[in-house]
Structure 1
Amino acid sequence: MTNLQLFYDPPGVLRLTVDDERSYPKVALYQSSPLRRPGRFLSLLDGKSEEIALVPSLDDLMPESRKVAERELARRYLTAKIQVLTSVRQEFGVTYWHAVTDRGERDFVVQNLSESCLWLSETHLLIIDADNNRFEIPDRGALDTASQRLLDSVL
């Protein structure tokens, strides 16, 4: 595979050098594969959102670039884990949620449930809100009864 070097310069700005020949001053890293296969099929886009490279696996990167990619993916796909649902209501096709997460209480809005709520397994739910924030219910069965009822009322 081509030698891809990912690094931050200045801090917080992801850059890419390909084979020590071509450098991209600002790139974005996205997970192209389904979210149930993390670290696979990563897409690197330039400042014009054109694909530079598709990386089949994090394992294909050199150790330093892999660390940078893992950090960038963790930042981009930061996911709050829902512990308790305290309120869920629907109005005109929009769903308003209030939840207690591992990052504190959160209010969020989901515009299209069928596209924004993804079952990663029979019990593992990923919710993407209108601002592209991610909320996760790792095990639906681990929620308290009231939270499960609220979830069932909208899904």
Structure 2
Amino acid sequence: MNFRLLKKHGKVYIQFEKQQEKLAKILWARPLTGRWKEISIVDEKKKEIIFLDSLNSIPTESRQIAKDELIRNYFLPKIIKVFETKSHRSCRYWHVETEKGPRKFLMKNPNRDFLCISQDNIILRDHIGNCYEIVSFRKLDRSSKNAINKII
């Protein structure tokens, strides 16, 4: 299927051969476990227009638009240090240092919001849906590891 992506006035459009362009949004089909793999392009009503196996399925001249949109829509700060964690009832309180600065957040459901992508890579989701990534648990300092182990 031949198509191209266009960016106009901060919005993304998709255009198939000899058809009018449509407003579109670019999404990861599996935002936490399948980043950069499967991509869904949806219309303004979130109805899927096209499903793609990878970014490489997007025409070369449109690929950068897709990459930029995915990065913008799925901001995922990386945790580089854990200062403190607390547990109260089923809630977990985190105070961390990310690559974008210090953050404090609340995790209400650790069974759902603590996702191990691999044995070493972890995604945390706070109570309002923001996600944070621990790229490598093994590479964290001892005090960060201890703080995490204390509440999981």
What is the Cα-based RMSD across aligned positions, in Å? 1.7
Residue identity matched to 2:8: D
Alignment TM-score, normalising by the size of structure 2: 0.89
Provide, for residues 84-104 of structure 1, a one-character-per-residue CA deviation record: whole Å limited to 9, x for no partner. 111212234222211011111
Q: Distance in 2 between matches of 1:143 and 1:94?
A: 23
Q: How many residues align structurally?
A: 152
Query: How big is the shift at 1:130?
Result: 2.6
Q: 4+ runs of 1 displaced by more than 6 Å?
A: none
Cα distance in 2 between the residues matched to 1:92 and 1:19: 57
Aligned mates of 2:18, 2:110 — CA distance in 1: 45
- Relative to the length of structure 1, the TM-score reads 0.88
User: Is 2:59 the counterpart of 1:62?
Assistant: yes
Q: Which amino acid aligns with 1:124?
A: N
Q: Which runs of 5+ in 2 are unaligned?
A: none
CA distance in 2 between partners of 1:21 and 1:108 (Å): 46
1:21 maps to 19
Paired position in structure 2 for 1:127: 124
Q: Which structure 1 residue ranges, 5 or more long, are not aligned?
A: none
Pairing of 1:4-153 with structure 2 (within 5 A): 4-11=3-10, 13-25=11-23, 27-33=24-30, 35-153=32-150
Shift of 1:36: 4.3
Partner AA of 2:12 in structure 1 = L
Task: Compute the displacement of 1:10 (Å).
Answer: 1.0
CA distance in 2, matches of 1:35, 1:51: 19
Provide the rounded CA distance (Å) in 2 between the counterparts of 1:110 and 1:19: 46
Matched to 2:70, the amino acid is: L
Residues 108, 64 of structure 1: alpha-carbon distance in 2 compared, 3 angstrom cutoff:
farther
Instruction: Determine what percentage of the aligned residue pairs are the same residue.
Output: 25
